[in-house]
Structure 1
Amino acid sequence: MSNGIHAGAAPRPVGRYPHARRVGDLLFLSGIGPRDAATNAVPGNVHDADGRLLGYDIELQCRSVFANVKAVLEACDARWEDLVDVTVYLTDMARDFAAYNAVWAEYFPDPDTAPCRTTLGIDALPTPIAIELKCVARAGAQATGER
């Protein structure tokens, strides 16, 4: 098994784990959220004067989490099109599923070439984010010698 892969263009993990690990021809990405890599801020979060979360923009968080996944894939010499399976965690399925699904359709317009997907509604994530993705991808061209 290969050593962990750390992507400088993605937000730092919130724990002691790599962004990804390559095993054979597959890449396993750790859970990735929408935090900004440079500032660690969560795009679209609105806080009150005491720092309590008042609301968030799920569409902005979706676009940001997709950008972070792309950054990790690029660090692994893989592409967006190499995704084969995505597990999505939403903290408010009833409120956010339709908007998230619409953004997903922009990024994956052809359902026949989109990765497999499972979407789960959960109570909370480790940081104040509304979405997190757990992905499996085919290893990139440099790693496999294909394309």
Structure 2
Amino acid sequence: MAKNKPVLPSSKAPEPVGLYPHARRVGNLLFLSGVGPRERGKKEIPGVELDEAGNILSYDIEAQCHAVFRNVRYILEEAGSGWANLVDVTVFLTNMQDDFGIYNRIYAEYFQDNQPCRTTVEVNKLPTPIAIELKCIATIDADGQGQQ
């Protein structure tokens, strides 16, 4: 059962791009590594168009937001937690000026019932050609099951 494993991989979320787990459990807390919008087993990133050198030509922040929230949900559920158990979310955007309004609207759709603490910051660049990444902390109930 997930509660006995401190490092928790996901079979649905995108493969890590470095040496880190999708999540780590400490007591009843679940810490997620940075989660982006990539899809497991695919090189393409939802809503991103790249040139031959890998530079971003265009991107759709709405598509990336939906993809990153889906990936967070995959990790939470496979680790024995759930969306309602999120307590803290740190959001990294590469273009706060153009993307914050869209992201904030979509965020509100996903977090109507559960409103974790949130910090949103702009960063110059993320490790892959993405425009958003989330760093999350959630709880896991004593029985290893989260709320759905």
TM-score, normalising length from structure 2? 0.90
Question: What letter matches 1:114 in structure 2?
Answer: Q
Listed as ranges, the matches of 1:16-27 within 5 Å are 16-27=19-30
Q: Kindly, what percent of the aligned residue pairs are identical?
A: 53
Distance 2:141 2:12 in 1: 17
SS of the residue corresponding to residue 15 of structure 2 reads: coil
Displacement after TM superposition at 1:109 (Å) = 1.9
Listed as ranges, the matches of 1:106-125 within 5 Å are 106-110=109-113, 113-125=114-126
Decide whether aligned partners of structure 1 residues 145 and 116 sit closer, same or farther in structure 2, where only a CA change above 3 A counts.
closer
Please say if 1:65 is aligned against 2:87: no
Question: What letter matches 2:26 in structure 1?
Answer: V
1:56-115 CA distance string (max 9 Å, x none): 0000000000000000001111111110000000000001000000000110125xx311
1:89-145 CA distance string (max 9 Å, x none): 0000001000000000110125xx311100000100000000000000011463269
Cα RMSD for the two superposed structures: 2.1
Please say if 1:10 is aligned against 2:13: yes
1:11-62 CA distance string (max 9 Å, x none): 0111001000000110000000000113132100012355432110000000
Unaligned runs of 5+ in 1: none
Listed as ranges, the matches of 1:1-147 within 5 Å are 2-48=5-51, 51-110=54-113, 113-140=114-141, 142-143=143-144
Does the CA-based 8 Å contact 2:47-2:59 persist in structure 1? yes
Does the CA-based 8 Å contact 2:81-2:147 persist in structure 1? no
Decide whether aligned partners of structure 1 residues 141 and 59 sit closer, same or farther in structure 2, where only a CA change above 3 A counts.
farther
Distance 1:49 1:17 in 2: 28
TM-score, normalising length from structure 1? 0.90
Displacement after TM superposition at 1:2 (Å) = 4.7
Does the CA-based 8 Å contact 2:55-2:129 persist in structure 1? no
